[in-house]
Chains A and B, each alone.
Chain A
Amino acid sequence: MASSLSICRSCLARSAPSTLLRFAPSTSTPRLRLLPATYAPLTLSPCFSTTPKPLAGGGAINRAKARTSKQVKKKKVKTHFKIWNHADSPKFALMDAIRYIRAFEVGNDQRQMKYDLAIKIHTLKNGPTVKSRIQLPKAVKTDVRICVFAEGKQAEAARQAGAVAVGSTELLEEIKNGADLNYDRIICHTNFFPTLQKANLGRVLGPKGLMPSPKTGTVVGDVSTAIQAMIGASEYRERQGVVRIAIAQLSFTPEEVRDNVKAFVEQFGKDLARIEDFDKRINEVVLSSTNSPAFSLSGEFRSDVGKIPEVSEAAAAEAEAAIINSPIQVDEAAGAEKMVAL
């Protein structure tokens, strides 16, 4: 009896690992079938039959008729943005991706060109989306022009924090008389806000979206911290199941890029976790730049294939471990796969 037991080959093939562990069949109970090994030839159609057959070539017409007579089957509505199984496609260590990207970007202005990071998420189409801002360890866009209305000590602090123009009543007069408004943001200190309101500058500043108001967080008690937050911060939001952000300038060193990527992925993981009741997971992290193709990241800093490990870079190795760990907290399924791959 035991000799006639056989394992179905198709079932074995299906239980191969997949990145979408949620949909993968469970591997814990292998499926056995009580079928003889000589079962396959028996499934072939018999040479003759006693039941009458429809005429040859009529099959398609019959099917079409059947479809019109019955109710038309509704197309399945997709609730989630499409995600792909990218387990077989190659992944790049950050250093390798950077080496290729720099080759593609040779001869371009290193300050204008940016590394772009795109994160593909497994998410509902109509659920809540992520929208936030982050203070990267090394800011990408630092030339934000800020104007500050403040007096006394706060004015000095603003000047030190990097505001382009600082002033009080005399600055108000200037703007009223039609001075050039070459600013990206205008901040006002809380003590000075009543005078600003009396000055009726809403007509001048309002259309440009520069009018300070407590709602937008531009009327503040501590001017210098507000400026620092504004200079380095970059905003990101989820669109069509993907989050894109300019993560670094091309002139940054690989270590600076790594720190920025790590900080962003960590914060983004927290953002996803904050949205309760909805299952959102990171599917893929892709690095590209202004003029280069996109590289799917493996989570390593450098690939050590064919290289002698350096002792002096123990600190770098620690950071590498951290960057590998960060996606695992967010996406257990992909993380487990990565651990297996490593």
Chain B
Amino acid sequence: MPSPTARYRWLRAQLHSIRNGTGAAVLPPNISRLALSFNYKTANGHMGAKKFFRECLPRLKYHNPNVDMPVTRSNATEGPATMTVHFFDPEAFEKLSQAKKKTQAQVQPETVSTVEINMLNRFSEDIMKELIEKTSATVYSEPPRSAELEEEAAYLAKKREGELAEKYKLQRAGRKRVTNELEAQADILSSIQSQSS
């Protein structure tokens, strides 16, 4: 287990970045569900959707812990990238859940209306802007950090980037080695076959 100081320095930067930035917004209480669907591959305009999922969605989830946020990704290379916002009636839901409290059955909020946001060929900031407009969410902001903390966060992010670059380099080298070995084996096999024939 690393020391608490080392652990906390990284944690402090991480937690600040999950509370602030694009995507840090409090949704109104009549939203129950935020469903994303896009491809695994980022070709054909799915990069913005992926960026939104990686950067903005954790912040949205932190500020709206009760909103369900399922993400479905398909193996296709083309197709739509959409976000569906499900609205529900909080008062009716409360009545229903209180009535069902005795039976201890899980109650799902009933969707009254939905809003679709197209994420194809767009930047994640644009998608976030449209979400805030369509749902009239309030943007969350914190007073800025001290210069020391800012510096520390920048240093840690740079360090992390370097570590990841090193890791990916090793991974790429490993993949290349494996493919080279396989090709060499295939060459040997083909030469043997040609000799025998």
Contacts and interface: CB of A to CB of B under 8 A. Distances in A.
Interface stretch (B1-9, B89-97, B109-117): B1-9
A240 to B, nearest CB: 8
Main secondary structure of the interface of B (DSSP, over half): helix
B186 interface: no
Contact of B65 (A102, A104, A107, A242): A102
Interface in A84-117: 84, 86, 89-90, 99-100, 102-104, 106-107
A241 B2 CA distance: 12
Given A107-B53, A242-B1, A89 B71 contact: no
Interface stretch (B55-63, B164-172, B189-197): B55-63
Interface in A283-307: 284, 286, 293-296
B62 A103 contact: yes
Contact of B59 (A86, A103, A118, A286): A103
B6 to A, nearest CB: 10
Contacts of A286: 1
A147 to B, nearest CB: 33
B10 A107 contact: no
Interface residues of B, number: 23
A95 B104 CA distance: 22
B61 A293 contact: no
Interface in A71-88: 84, 86
B98 to A, nearest CB: 12
Nearest to A104: B58
A258 interface: no
B11 interface: yes
B131 interface: no
Interface string A267-291: 0000000000000000010100000
Q: Which 6 A-B pairs have the closest CB atoms?
A: A107-B71, A103-B62, A86-B4, A89-B4, A106-B61, A103-B61
